[in-house]
Amino acid sequence: MIRLELKSLADTKRLGRCVARLLEPGDVILFHGDLGAGKTTLTRFIAKNLGIQEREVTSPTFNIIHEHLGGKIPLIHVDLYRLGQNADILDTGIEEYLAGESVIVVEWAENLTEPIFDEYLELEITMGDDSRTAVLKPAGPAWEKKITAMKTCLEKGDGKE
């Protein structure tokens, strides 16, 4: 587990770079956090580091799923906000993307009745008075290994521009 204080937008960018460096096709990130916590902003920075135009990444609240295919790994951005609590993610059509060729980012994952993913990174963002806190929890052996590499990236500053 990693607990990281995000005191500035630069900290969020660095986290996005470190996460993106470790992503492989088939990886899943489940975001939790209040409205305005920065889930879409962090997704935008992850996408940018996958080679996707940052301005293309917006909240998919009304469409539920946005496909971003222009990067080195396709990014599937899912937002379960409108589906509310006890959302059945299979109702979104996500099964089309489960072949493992894309990275899947799910916002409002707390609305899932039960995850359909065996391995994932759970990423919760909470807001404080002057900063945000990101908590990253790996689920599964692949993410356990990646979380160690992510700690190194964040500690060494490998994620700096």
pLDDT of residue 87: 59
| 29 touches 123 (CB < 8 A) | yes
Is 105 part of a structural domain of the chain? yes
Q: Provide the pairing of β-strand 65-68 with 75-79.
A: antiparallel
Residues 6+ apart with CB under 8 A from 12: 6, 38, 41, 42, 45, 132
Give the Cα separation of 13 and 21 in Å (integer).
12
Q: What is the pLDDT of residues 101-117, one digit of tens each?
A: 899 999 888 877 776 78
Q: What is the pLDDT of residues 3-26, one digit of tens each?
A: 999 999 999 999 999 999 999 999
Look at residue 56 and tell me whether its pLDDT is greater than 80.
no
Per the structure, how many domains does the chain have? 1
In angstroms, the first-to-last Cα distance of the chain is 24
Give the Cα separation of 65 and 53 in Å (integer).
17
Q: What is the CATH number of the domain that holds 97?
A: 3.40.50.300
Q: What is the pLDDT of residues 82-94, one digit of tens each?
A: 766 655 666 666 7
Q: What is the pLDDT of residues 118-141, one digit of tens each?
A: 899 999 999 988 889 999 999 999
Q: Provide the pairing of β-strand 120-127 with 28-33.
A: parallel
pLDDT of residue 91: 67
Q: What is the band of 161 on the pLDDT scale with cuts at 50, 70, 90?
A: very low
Looking at residue 50, what DSSP letter applies? Answer: T
Is 75 part of a structural domain of the chain? yes
pLDDT of residue 57: 75
pLDDT of residue 159: 45
Q: Of all residues in the chain, what percent carry a pLDDT higher than 70?
A: 80
Residues 6+ apart with CB under 8 A from 146: 22, 121, 138
pLDDT of residue 84: 61
Domain span including residue 73 = 2-154
- Per DSSP, what are the bridge partners of residue 152? none
Is 22 part of a structural domain of the chain? yes
Is 161 part of a structural domain of the chain? no
